[in-house]
Structure 1
């Protein structure tokens, strides 16, 4: 059969002629097998293509889902960071209030949630699933700690409000506002003196402002001194209670008198550059029992 000869005759109607082809059996069988193989290959390729299309479609859906999850995680982490910042400001405010009203610092304050920032950078591409799960667990822990801190802070604020209601007079006589507008150029710290070049401790804060900027009383008190005071230039001293006082130096002009009682926000004078000064600014001191303390502890706004 393989070597038998087969003849194929093709007739041409119009010309009345014909063509004769001679094929071996093995050739016909080979041609048949090739046809079957090609057909089978096409079927397999089509199935593979269909399978690939389904996989690709599934990957696209999964990628879209992952992207949505990443967006949600990013939004949640940003909210957590915002809550952390807000609670931090509340804790600072709480601490200042306690100093001002002589209320003991709460030794049981919850520590700020630890473990690094909850905010991951999702803009650098695909975040592995295990990282997403880890981040989700971390953020849930952050939320739990923030929730505990918020409840504790609420209790502390209620304690402060109770103390404030019972000590209204103390609060009115406790410095709590900026004495003038401007920007701090020298803080309550060691520094190199701009006049001697030696290292010395700066007993207050310097608030740089244009000449003539109003200066206000930070709390109720009695003026114990107003006039020239050596290197302080034109200055004012304000006694708030038996232990707490404030000092304002380098004024351009003073608007109050000795013995005068002033209230919080009342005008004391104007920013200047009298005395030993490098330019218009207010030197502001807060003294507790005669000892200088950081004025920023007595500034709430």
Structure 2
């Protein structure tokens, strides 16, 4: 005989309210999931929109910067066309030197004369003696206008001429710079290798006035020393083979750095043109 299936107690059969509650819970979960997906999609879309906007702004800023540079370069080119074409170079380094002071008894500048051949200084006896040397710089102007330049010396250098020079178009001017150090200092610079023996000697400045303008600077540098050790004699020094014209030297060298030019959109308050 087959056993009879036991009936399900009535209290275990879910009522329609229970079924409805379950479906309500499932529906709420589905709605929450769909809402989350929609929110995520909205966030993604917003991020893409923001990224696109930032990219557009970046491109706009880059284009604006390029336009600003083009405008600034055009203004600089216009200023360049108005500037006189100045050229500065080393004309002569001479071994003529003296240790007799700058001026004669009458007060006139004492000309440099070549020291006797074989002139020797010994340390420490002659360490305090002063030795003057000369460097001549050439400055030319190829136009289109005359140039008024200002000259400034440094590092024990000085001019015998005025510190302002007017150079007409097509003119070339020679500027003599003299340097003075003691024998002890010259000997120290001869022995050293490094930046101390490289010194700015002369700075030439041209200021182009106008609503817009520029300031151009040339720097003349000299390195080394006119003195070299006397072979076989300790603490003895003599003039080295540094006399030259526009060429490399053995113990004393001079060079003109490439000019540096600053541009200004307003010369009255020196507003930099960038």
Which TM class, normalised by the smaller chain length? Answer: 0.3 to 0.5
Greater strand fraction, Structure 1 or Structure 2: 2
TM-score, normalised with respect to structure 2 = 0.36
Higher relative contact order (CA 8 A, sep 6+): 2
